[in-house]
């Protein structure tokens, strides 16, 4: 017999753990389901650290969300009595018209955020571990810093459980269906019913939401830890997180973190990435071709860091064509909420969007302005609009009562049965 909940969260990694926590905290009967163990290393939310910042170069519209995200991270630290955020700042470096520099300045100006503008030599003098190229400008944001990524996921999950959520791991969801009023979710062995469903399936969103034909691409993104040869790179020596946008001929962006242990620091390339056909089969081996551009960057900009990695880990970006997130309700089923396409910059938002997913799943709306993240903007890149209110056996969608609705001039009730390959 199916077990009954108020809300089911499909995928309790970065965003799903936030959603489960906020839903459970509001007193709802919550079920969270994941194919892997808590805070695992097979998706997009692992590798020790994530940068968090306010002067958002990607788009000023993210800033109100970020202000709320900061508040919610502080609340989570207070409730869990655990430090999750280190306010060590962020150094952005690039040509004056680079996206990072000009975008951060724009967001700071529009939202009255505090940033410091520095010349390349002033930045190098202040943080002697860096060698900022002379043609670059630098922007320092003192409010930025790092989040301990696995600790954040674990804390959201642990507190979701404390607030009464049931969380099940190691059992992939194989199908879901909705009548618009009720959802039914199945794993290989169990069946669950709820009033609403939140789908936060990360790199599996494309297959879990196959009926929508979302234009998502999964990219292989390795990260590396390198030995430092100077205490200047240590968190304790006020070394900030960093993001360098190298000029056109290198066409690459690199980011990294201060050394947490005084021995190694983490660096990775934000640009590029190999397309992944199946997230379960991504190549996690160390490749010399991944290391080489980062080693070149280190030689140029962090010269006292060794260029042979001592450790690596492979992560996944799930990117939309415009690199902005998808946060919306399902176009056919208002009781199904979708969060996906976080495009390699989502983690810092898992606190605030966890709360937004809880709003959308329970009231259908949220006070925060999210229009710029809606699904409709991607419609010309999907065949989504064509499939609205129509039968499509290829995607397992069934319109129920559509002829009756057409006669009555009302919107049809739709039921979808989305079966996908979970292996």
Ligand X SMILES: Cc1cc2nc3c(=O)[nH]c(=O)nc-3n(C[C@H](O)[C@H](O)[C@H](O)COP(=O)(O)OP(=O)(O)OC[C@H]3O[C@@H](n4cnc5c(N)ncnc54)[C@H](O)[C@@H]3O)c2cc1C
The two structure tokens encoding residue 213: 């034909």
Taking the CA atoms of residue 126, residue 131, residue 136 and residue 141 in that order, the dihedral angle to the nearest 10 degrees is -40
105 binds ligand X (CB under 6 A): no
**63, 316, 327, 356: which one binds ligand X (CB under 6 A):** 316
86 binds ligand X (CB under 6 A): no
273 binds ligand X (CB under 6 A): no
Residue nearest to ligand X (CB): 13
**23, 30, 51, 301: which one binds ligand X (CB under 6 A):** 51
Q: Which stretch binds ligand X (CB under 6 A): 33-41, 55-63, 176-184, 399-407?
A: 33-41
68 binds ligand X (CB under 6 A): no
223 binds ligand X (CB under 6 A): yes
204 binds ligand X (CB under 6 A): yes
Catalytic residue numbers, as ranges: 46, 49-50, 266, 270, 315, 348
15 binds ligand X (CB under 6 A): yes
Q: Is 389 left (phi over 0), alpha (psi -120 to 50) or beta?
A: left
Using CB atoms within 10 Å of the CB of residue 211, give its burial: 0 to 12 exposed, 13 to 18 middle, 19+ buried: buried
**11, 32, 129, 331: which one binds ligand X (CB under 6 A):** 11
- Closest by CA to 200, choosing from 377, 43, 331, 359, is 43
| DSSP 8-state class, residue 38 | T
173 binds ligand X (CB under 6 A): yes
CB of 193 to ligand X, least distance (A): 17
- Closest by CA to 183, choosing from 2, 352, 324, is 2
199 binds ligand X (CB under 6 A): no
Residue 167's DSSP bridge partners are 32
Using CB atoms within 10 Å of the CB of residue 188, give its burial: 0 to 12 exposed, 13 to 18 middle, 19+ buried: exposed
16 binds ligand X (CB under 6 A): yes
Q: Which stretch binds ligand X (CB under 6 A): 107-115, 131-139, 326-334, 338-346?
A: 338-346
The two structure tokens encoding residue 139: 């922007």
Three-state SS letters, 301-364 = HCCCECCCCCEEEEEEEEECCCCCCEEEECCCCCCEEEEECCCCCCHHHHHHHHHHHHHHHHCC
**348, 352, 378, 384: which one binds ligand X (CB under 6 A):** 348
Q: Which residues are at the interface with ligand X (CB under 6 A)?
A: 11, 13-16, 33-36, 43-45, 47, 50-51, 172-173, 200-202, 204, 208, 221, 223, 268, 315-317, 342, 344-348, 422
């Amino acid at each position: 017999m199916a077990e009954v909940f108020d809300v089911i969260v499909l995928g309790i990694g970065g965003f799903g753990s936030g959603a489960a926590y906020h839903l459970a905290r509001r007193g709802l009967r919550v079920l969270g389901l994941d194919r892997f163990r808590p805070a695992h290393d097979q998706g997009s939310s692992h590798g020790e650290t994530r940068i968090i910042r306010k002067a958002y170069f990607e788009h000023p519209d993210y800033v109100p969300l970020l202000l709320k995200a900061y508040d919610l991270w502080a609340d989570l630290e207070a409730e869990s009595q655990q430090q999750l955020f280190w306010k060590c700042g962020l150094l952005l470096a690039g040509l004056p018209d680079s996206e990072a520099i000009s975008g951060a300045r724009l967001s700071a100006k529009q939202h009255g955020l505090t940033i410091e503008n520095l010349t390349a030599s002033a930045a190098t003098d202040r943080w002697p571990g860096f060698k900022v190229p002379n043609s670059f400008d630098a922007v320092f944001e003192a409010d930025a810093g790092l989040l301990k990524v696995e600790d954040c996921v674990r804390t959201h999950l642990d507190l979701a459980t404390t607030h009464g959520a049931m969380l099940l791991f190691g059992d992939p969801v194989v199908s879901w269906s909705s009548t618009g009023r009720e959802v039914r979710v199945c794993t290989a062995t169990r069946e669950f019913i709820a009033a609403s469903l939140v789908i936060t399936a990360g790199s599996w969103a494309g297959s879990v939401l196959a009926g929508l034909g979302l234009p998502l691409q999964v990219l292989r993104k390795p990260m590396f830890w390198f030995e430092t040869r100077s205490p200047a790179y240590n968190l304790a020596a006020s070394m900030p997180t960093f993001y360098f946008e190298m000029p056109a001929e290198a066409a690459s962006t690199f980011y990294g973190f201060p050394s947490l242990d005084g021995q190694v620091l983490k660096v990775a390339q934000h640009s590029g990435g190999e397309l992944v056909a199946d997230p379960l089969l991504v190549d996690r081996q160390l490749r010399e071709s991944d290391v080489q551009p980062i080693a070149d960057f280190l030689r140029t900009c962090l010269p006292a860091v060794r260029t042979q990695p001592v450790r690596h880990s492979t992560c996944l970006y799930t990117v939309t064509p415009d690199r902005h997130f998808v946060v919306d309700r399902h176009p056919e089923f208002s009781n199904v909420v979708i969060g996906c396409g976080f495009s390699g910059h989502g983690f810092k938002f898992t606190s605030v969007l966890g709360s937004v997913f809880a709003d959308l799943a329970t009231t259908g709306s949220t006070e925060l302005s999210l229009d710029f993240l809606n699904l409709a903007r991607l419609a010309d890149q999907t065949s989504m609009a064509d499939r609205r209110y129509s039968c499509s056996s290829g995607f397992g969608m069934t319109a129920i009562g559509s002829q009756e609705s057409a006669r009555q001039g009302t919107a049809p009730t739709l039921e979808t049965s989305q079966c996908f390959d979970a292996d």
